[in-house]
């Protein structure tokens, strides 16, 4: 089932929040802390290892209550249930949105059309892990028998920003392999990356959800020609 499409700006709670904003928009943070000596505790949430502290935002307990009402009126609970339940909420492609499966506990099933998809997901993740370990250790080599020294991510949008963010976030754990990213359709970008690389020791990863993204396909073709020319 698709999501219940409710424009939040049409709800009564949105109107109340708008009115509430006008009432508190000029409040000073110092006065809010003086009025509520337990503001830090009252304006914080703990969820497992995550701690959310919004005490330094211009908001009150009434603000929180109104936001909760907005979530209820907008049927947020229904959206969450359908998201985690594997419903086809991506209406443009008529399929489920299953990012959660990649971060799921191995023992928790995720049902799509009555079938638990987690065994297939875990099997795929194990394949990815095995392949990356082979690349890092040097067991999996390039066409000339040399170990890989560089990996190039070729994608655009989320297929570029997502992996790039992970690389930046885990920089402390970096190993000997250098990472590069090609996303810009401007030919100068891919050329500047390629001129620093050796085709014998470079692994290219083409990242796309549908493999119909023209920018990614164009860059891939450029790289393929470079690769073939370098080998000739």
**Boundary-marking domain end, from 48, 77, 106:** 77
pLDDT at 210: 84
β-strand partners of 181:
153
Please check whether residue 37 lies inside any domain of the structure. yes
Same domain (yes/no): 147, 70:
no
The torsion of the CA quartet 140, 145, 151, 155, rounded to 10 degrees, works out to -90
Q: How open is the CA angle 151-154-160, to the nearest 5 degrees?
A: 105
Q: How many domains does the chain have?
A: 2
**Boundary-marking domain end, from 25, 48, 77:** 77
- Alpha-carbon span 162 to 67, nearest angstrom: 29
* Residue with tokens 């509520």, as numbered in its chain: 36
pLDDT at 232: 66
Please check whether residue 21 lies inside any domain of the structure. yes
**What string of pLDDT tens digits covers the 232 residues of the chain?**
678 889 999 999 999 999 999 999 999 999 999 999 999 999 999 998 899 999 999 999 999 999 999 999 999 999 998 888 888 898 888 888 888 888 776 667 887 778 888 899 899 999 999 999 999 999 999 999 999 999 999 999 999 999 999 999 999 999 999 999 999 888 889 999 999 999 999 999 999 988 889 999 999 999 999 988 887 6
> What is this structure's pTM?
0.70
- Alpha-carbon span 222 to 194, nearest angstrom: 10
- Alpha-carbon span 112 to 138, nearest angstrom: 38
pLDDT at 173: 94
Please check whether residue 66 lies inside any domain of the structure. yes
Tokens of 182: 């090609």
Please check whether residue 68 lies inside any domain of the structure. yes
Please check whether residue 116 lies inside any domain of the structure. no
State the DSSP H helix or E strand holding residue 180, giving kind and residue range, or none if neither.
strand 178-182
Please check whether residue 45 lies inside any domain of the structure. yes
Q: From residue 231, give the alpha-carbon distance in Å to each of 52, 93, 104, 227.
A: 54, 40, 43, 6
pLDDT at 186: 87
Residue-range definition of the domain harbouring residue 177: 141-231
CATH of the domain at 179: 3.40.50.10490
pLDDT at 114: 80
Please check whether residue 72 lies inside any domain of the structure. yes
Residue 139: how many CB atoms within 10 A of its CB? 10
Q: Of 72, 74, 100, 107, which Cα lies nearest the Cα of 86?
A: 100
pLDDT at 87: 86
* Residue with tokens 């450029």, as numbered in its chain: 222
Please check whether residue 124 lies inside any domain of the structure. no
**Boundary-marking domain end, from 32, 62, 77:** 77
């Amino acid at each position: 089932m698709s999501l219940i499409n409710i424009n939040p700006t049409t709800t009564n709670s949105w109107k109340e929040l708008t009115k509430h904003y006008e009432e508190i928009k000029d409040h000073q943070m110092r006065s809010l802390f003086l009025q509520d000596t337990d503001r830090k505790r009252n304006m914080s949430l703990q969820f497992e290892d995550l701690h959310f502290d919004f005490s330094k935002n211009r908001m009150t307990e009434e603000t929180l209550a109104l936001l909760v009402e907005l979530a209820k009126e907008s049927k947020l609970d229904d959206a969450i249930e359908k998201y985690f339940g594997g419903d086809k909420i991506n209406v443009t492609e008529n399929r489920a949105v299953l990012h959660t499966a990649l971060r799921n506990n191995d023992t928790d099933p995720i049902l799509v059309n009555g079938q638990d998809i987690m065994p297939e997901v875990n099997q795929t993740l194990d394949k990815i892990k095995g392949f990356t370990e082979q690349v890092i250790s040097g067991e999996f080599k390039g066409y000339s028998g040399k170990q890989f020294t560089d990996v190039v991510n070729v994608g655009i949008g989320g297929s570029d920003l997502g992996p790039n963010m992970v690389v930046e976030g885990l920089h402390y754990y970096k190993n000997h392999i250098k990472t590069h990213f090609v996303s810009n359709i401007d030919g100068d970008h891919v050329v500047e990356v390629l001129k620093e690389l050796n085709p014998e020791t470079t692994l290219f990863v083409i990242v796309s959800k549908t493999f119909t993204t023209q920018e990614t396909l164009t860059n891939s073709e450029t790289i393929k020609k470079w690769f073939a020319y370098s080998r000739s």
